[in-house]
Structure 1
């Protein structure tokens, strides 16, 4: 048996890296302890963010969770382990001590319908009002958990706990990897959860923190003005709840500063993640910066010369003809002639049209 447990531990370790291994490892754990189904599940206040159980369909899991929601006033198993520290083993006798009540009776009826009333369980990890649970479910035919099955389950539990901790650590690294990938977007972007806790951010977001336009307070993204901070918190909560689509906020400017346009969107949830919270992007669009590829686009797509590209971009950044002439050490008439050529190539007739076109096409 010890060799089988060691091999199973390797399988759980692999599951932390390969999502396809989780259900197979949970099934093998259940079989080694005399049960039918293994379950790895996360609980937060009012919800079940992830739930893996072998030989249950996603629809069956969804229907079950929609009725009990991990509520300790409904879910007998949650109540049985609620006050335990991690790694305490609970089983059928503990389920019975929970007692009766409308919610508990509903849960027991659901377990009877799915033939998963018996079994043993433990709390693997706990913190910040959430925990990860591990359960072996047993059918009526398999009967209640005996001491031998309990001993095997106890030996397996630390191996699963290590695998869960490994996957959580890898997912945390994923935020850093995602942040690095987002650097290529060239925008200030924060990666947060629904509460605003900042997981990572791009380099340009650091500039917004440095100049005080955004703040991180107790680890959470915020803004200097309470009304703006409240609007951001509400937008994060709505996007977490509603999922699809983006929500756009205009964060008021102070003094001579222009307002910031902020898009809030939720990243798609991956079924393989052991995640207690959604990941949301807070994307800040200052509207002041032209895309890094702007010179290449103007040259390739519109045939502007090097000098014409520099002048067009200067106009787009709000510089006057006089400023451009002085910076280029040339006459205003030369700049005027070059602008005429630029207008022709871009099919615009005045500077306002040029600025508008650059804003629509190249500004970030």
Structure 2
């Protein structure tokens, strides 16, 4: 598969869309795989609250049933988990680390799965990790793709930064609402407004605040408005479509 040129801003927008509309994670993961010349992309979560972060692009649905009966989080079964726990592992774990990890497996269950779906190669990184679980991002490559190159891993690392920001944003939305979002929004470089169920603005990014200073947009009793009445009406309709 040929790589496609996508700018950092485009990746940021793509993953921001996934955080705000979680069904779009599948598209973001698929595009990541295509951009790196990989057969599949994967977002995977272990632990409480991580169920929403489990996506694999372009793979046979039968893998769901086969993995359901495995303990994928066990490092003595899953060489990808074992590789992630190697001492002095880099941020991007890849095939060289998988080679080491496979030597200490106690059973072939996950190896058989990888053979069935042709997903032995690839690379991975942690997006978030703590005592209660982990969320990771990975490329799963088939025999035609071959092993990852340094260039592909560098591109994956760049994309992973945007995915990490999106995971944090989605968790903030789902778990702690406006209070935590205020801090999350401060770190975002896109113009975004957070609206409550009534359509009033509850928070905004620095870029959105700067946009207000240009005069084209303004806050009117907590509502986002424009200089022109027809634009304000169109904006109000758009907001209502989101919150209704």
Does TM-score exceed 0.5, indicating one fold? yes
Kindly indicate whether the alpha-carbon contact (under 8 Å) linking 1:121 and 1:133 is maintained by their aligned counterparts in 2: yes
Q: Does 1:11 align with 2:8?
A: no
Corresponding pairs, count = 175
Q: Could you say if the C-alpha distance between residues 44 and 82 of structure 1 is closer, same or farther in structure 2, counting changes exceeding 3 Å?
A: farther
Once the two structures are TM-superposed, the CA of residue 72 in structure 1 deviates from its matched residue by 1.4
Unaligned runs of 5+ in 1: 177-364
Once the two structures are TM-superposed, the CA of residue 64 in structure 1 deviates from its matched residue by 1.7
Kindly indicate whether the alpha-carbon contact (under 8 Å) linking 1:8 and 1:28 is maintained by their aligned counterparts in 2: no
Residue of 43, 53, 57 corresponding to 1:54: 57
d(CA) in 1 for partners of 2:90 and 2:162? 11
d(CA) in 2 for partners of 1:25 and 1:121? 16
Residue of 138, 157, 162 corresponding to 1:135: 138
> Counterparts of 1:268-287 in structure 2 under 5 Å?
none
> In structure 1, what is the equivalent of residue 186 of structure 2?
none
Q: Could you say if the C-alpha distance between residues 84 and 130 of structure 1 is closer, same or farther in structure 2, counting changes exceeding 3 Å?
A: farther
> In structure 2, what is the equivalent of residue 28 of structure 1?
31
Taking structure 1 as the reference length, the TM-score comes to: 0.44
The CA RMSD measured in Å over matched residues stands at 2.8
User: Highest relative contact order (Cα 8 Å, sep 6+), 1 or 2?
Assistant: 2
Deviations 1:200-224 (A, max 9, x none): xxxxxxxxxxxxxxxxxxxxxxxxx
> Counterparts of 1:181-330 in structure 2 under 5 Å?
none
Kindly indicate whether the alpha-carbon contact (under 8 Å) linking 2:79 and 2:105 is maintained by their aligned counterparts in 1: no
Taking structure 2 as the reference length, the TM-score comes to: 0.64
Once the two structures are TM-superposed, the CA of residue 173 in structure 1 deviates from its matched residue by 3.5
Once the two structures are TM-superposed, the CA of residue 28 in structure 1 deviates from its matched residue by 0.5
Kindly indicate whether the alpha-carbon contact (under 8 Å) linking 2:5 and 2:35 is maintained by their aligned counterparts in 1: no
d(CA) in 2 for partners of 1:8 and 1:105? 37
Deviations 1:75-133 (A, max 9, x none): 11011113579981011110001133554532122111101110010011111241111
> In structure 1, what is the equivalent of residue 103 of structure 2?
100
Unaligned runs of 5+ in 2: 180-244
Q: Could you say if the C-alpha distance between residues 7 and 144 of structure 1 is closer, same or farther in structure 2, counting changes exceeding 3 Å?
A: same
> Counterparts of 1:67-146 in structure 2 under 5 Å?
67-82=70-85, 88-101=91-104, 103=106, 105-146=108-149
Q: Could you say if the C-alpha distance between residues 16 and 130 of structure 1 is closer, same or farther in structure 2, counting changes exceeding 3 Å?
A: same
Task: Please say which structure displays the higher CA radius of gyration.
Answer: 1
Kindly indicate whether the alpha-carbon contact (under 8 Å) linking 1:118 and 1:138 is maintained by their aligned counterparts in 2: yes
